[in-house]
Structure formats: structure tokens, C-alpha cells
Amino acid sequence: MYRRTLLKAGLGMAALPVLSRYAFAAEGKPVSFWYETASPANQENLQKFLIEPFNASHPDHVLGIDFRGADLDKQLRVAMVAGTGPDVVFTAGPSYVAAMAQSGQLLVLDDYAKKFGWNERLLPLFLDMGKYEGKLYALPKTYETLGLFYNKTLFAANNWKAPTTIPELEALADEMKAKGITPFGAGNADWRGANEWHVTIALNSIAGPDIVHKALTGEIPWTDPAFAAAIDKLAEWWDKGYYGENYFSLTNEQAFAQIATGQAGMAPTGTWSFTYIPTYFPQANAEPGFIGFPSAKGDPVFALGVGSTLSVSAKAENPEGAAEVLDYMFSDEYYSAINSVWQGEWNLPLADLSKIKLADNVLPLYTEVMKELASSVGANLYGYTTWTFLPPAADTYLVSGMEEVWLKKTSTADFLKKLDETFRGEKEAGKVPAIPPRA
């Protein structure tokens, strides 16, 4: 999840291994797994629902997790180049897989996919996204989407309806501003990459997924007028104050909390924010809502994202154990257990969810949204998140470049020109992630 947001500062930052209580007495061979930031509660969830049951059912292996926090990406890159690092490799998304596969840092997983039946158990689209030059190198840890969270209680009190078009969204935002309510609860104080959530929304909802797909495959440049219109609209929303005055000082969680209290009206963010709902909405006596972000055509767009991927290191000391860990994660048992306690972070792309049983206290809205996203993927009606489909350098520039547009340090035209140049350079170098065909 670190390509999107960091949880409360200081939580889960220690780089200490969490092992099964039986680890030191076990005869099995260690399996190392470096993970990102996780709250103490979610570290316990991984201990209870991943480490202990895996080790109990796989006596030849002993899984241990190091929580590396916000520095995981940097630490992983250094370790992989040096030929060290963990057996199970956790990356920030498909855009990282191509470069790592190209450098020979990841193990080809096709034989394991055949052995464990992953080709049948996972949605084909996501398997394709983990491939480089036709070979499988990564499995997606979770798939997600962006949309619009809102406070149903606040909307009912003001006789507001959830917007379905861009004009309706803007009219509602203007009315909120007139009442002293910040239209968009958003912030990037803890994760500058939050900027690209809004770029992703604009590209897909205003330019449209078909146009985005053409740019990703190199058919049209990122300087296309449709993208200029999208970035101009995003800049216009900024200038009109839709993002409020505290975007750079609020964390994503703080901004999302304002939706529950009614200080902000809507939150253009991703499904990972479902994890915040139990903390803030009940205590505010408010009911949450979620819709696909309105589009220029009137139909909601669900931009598809793969928040992180799982691979096996080419230098793994225990590659067989690492593959067994991946296989366990993609089981009905683990999916049901972890999603019952930690929504938004482990929406594994299983092809068949008929055997999945979530706890009774799981918010029905979460289940409904995940089903709607799965349906949109199945019907080929999804959009494209930038952190999933752009190569690393282009994606990095997009994050900083959009900020420069908002702050009037660069123009839309210059921003898109540099984005296009960066993308094309990476495309020529073979670093663009796999882009599935669009029907």
C-alpha cells in the first residue's frame, strides 16, 4: 500500500522480524519476507492469519516477516542489486516488475503457476500484468480502484445527491464551498504520491480510458489535447479551492476523517481508505457512501490499480518456500481470514469468490464495491491507474509535475511534454509494464 499512503507515522516502522511462536524450535528452512508499514493491529493480523497457519501447515518452511516501513522500496532496491534481500519480494506495483525482471532480479514463476494452478485460480488479466516478455514474474497482492467517498448523512441533511457527471460534481462542489465545506477531503503530507490519484481520476474520467490505453501502448502521445483538457480541469479545481487550503499539511487519513465529521464533503481517493471507515464514521454517527468517480460521459469510471506485487527473488535462499508462501496467500482460507479483519489491502484477484466467507461485521459497502469493480474488470470497462501502468520514471515525474502545475511553476503543455518524453524513453528501454489489450 505504500504507493498510495502511509498509515499513522511511527506505526510498524521497526525492521524487526515477526516469526511464528514456534519458529526457533522448528526444523524448517527460513523464508524471508520484507513488508511495508503496518499498524500494530495489522502486524498481529499477519502473525495470526499468515505466519502461524502457514508454518503449521508447511513444516519444511518457517516464514518470517520484517516490517521495513516507509523505506522498504529503497532498502529493497539496494539489496536486490547486491544480490541479497528477502526470498519473497514485495514491490510497489507492476511498473517496478519490468525493470527488476529486465535486470534478472526476479525468478520466473511459470513453472510454479503450473504446479500450483495459479493460471486457473487467478483472474487472467492480473496474471498478464505480472508478465515481462511473455514470462510470469509477479502476482498482484491486491487490486483496487479510485472513486468518490462521501458522507451519506451529510448529503441527506442537505438534500444532495451523489453526482454522476462532471457538471453535477462541480455544481455540488460549489454549493459545498458556499456552506463553508471543503469539497474534496484530500492531503499529501505523508505521501506525495497522493498527487497521482487525482491525475489518474482526471485522465480516466475526463480524457477517458480508451484514450489512456492508446497512450500507454504508444499509439498517441501524452501531449494529446484530451490529456491537456484533463490536466487543465484538474488545475481549475485546484484554483477554485476544491482541495481546500491544507492539502500539503493534511495526511490522507486526516483528510478522510474530515469526510466523517462533515468538514469536507467528498474524498476522491481509493478503496484502501475503507480501512479508515470503522475508526471515524461510527463515532461521528455518519454513514459512508462510495461511487465510481463521475465522468464526462456520465458513466462512472473505475480506474484499475494493482497496489503492490509479490515475486520470488532470483537470489532467494529458499525459492521453493517463497513460492509456497505465495500459494498460501492466494487460498480461499487466507483471503477470507485477512479480508475479514483488514479491508482494502488484500483484495487478491481470485477468479472464484464463491467459497469466500467474510466476517459478519465487514461493511456491506466494501463487499458491494469490490463486486462492482470485479464486474467492471470482467466487462472490460475499467480505467488505468498511473502507478500500475506507467513505467517508474514517468510515474515519478507525474507526481512532482502535477504539483508544479497546481503551483503555477509549469504549464500543462510543458508538463505533458516532459511526461511524454520520459515515457517514450522508458518504452524504448522496455520498461513499460504489460498493457492488456482493450476490447
* Three-class SS of 226-240: HHHHHHHHHHHHHHC
Which has the higher per-residue pLDDT, 303 or 4?
303
Mean pLDDT for the stretch of residues 383-398: 94
pLDDT of residue 32: 98
b/e for 90-103, b at 16 or more Cβ within 10 A? bbbbbbbbbbbbee
pLDDT of residue 25: 43
pLDDT of residue 232: 98
Lowest mean pLDDT among 94-98, 193-197, 222-226, 339-343: 94-98
Angle, vertex CA 94, rays to CA 92 and CA 100, nearest 5: 85
- Total-model pTM: 0.83
Separation between Cα atoms, residue 278 and residue 263, nearest integer Å: 18
Ranges of H-type helices in 62-121: 72-81, 94-102, 110-116, 118-121
Residue 87, pLDDT > 70, answer yes
Query: Please, are residues 194 and 188 in contact by the beta-carbon 8 Å criterion?
Result: yes
Mean pLDDT for the stretch of residues 211-234: 98
Separation between Cα atoms, residue 221 and residue 215, nearest integer Å: 6
| Whole-number Cα distances in Å, 147 to 49, 66, 227, 357, 394 | 29, 32, 19, 25, 23
Separation between Cα atoms, residue 388 and residue 96, nearest integer Å: 9
Amino acid symbol at 429: A
Separation between Cα atoms, residue 48 and residue 46, nearest integer Å: 5
Q: How confident is the model at residue 375 (pLDDT cuts 50, 70, 90)?
A: confident
Q: How many CA atoms lie within 13 A of 198 on its CB side?
A: 29
Dihedral (CA of 95, 98, 103, 108) sign: positive
Residue 249, pLDDT > 70, answer yes
Separation between Cα atoms, residue 386 and residue 396, nearest integer Å: 10
| Whole-number Cα distances in Å, 157 to 151, 154, 251, 344, 407 | 10, 5, 27, 29, 35
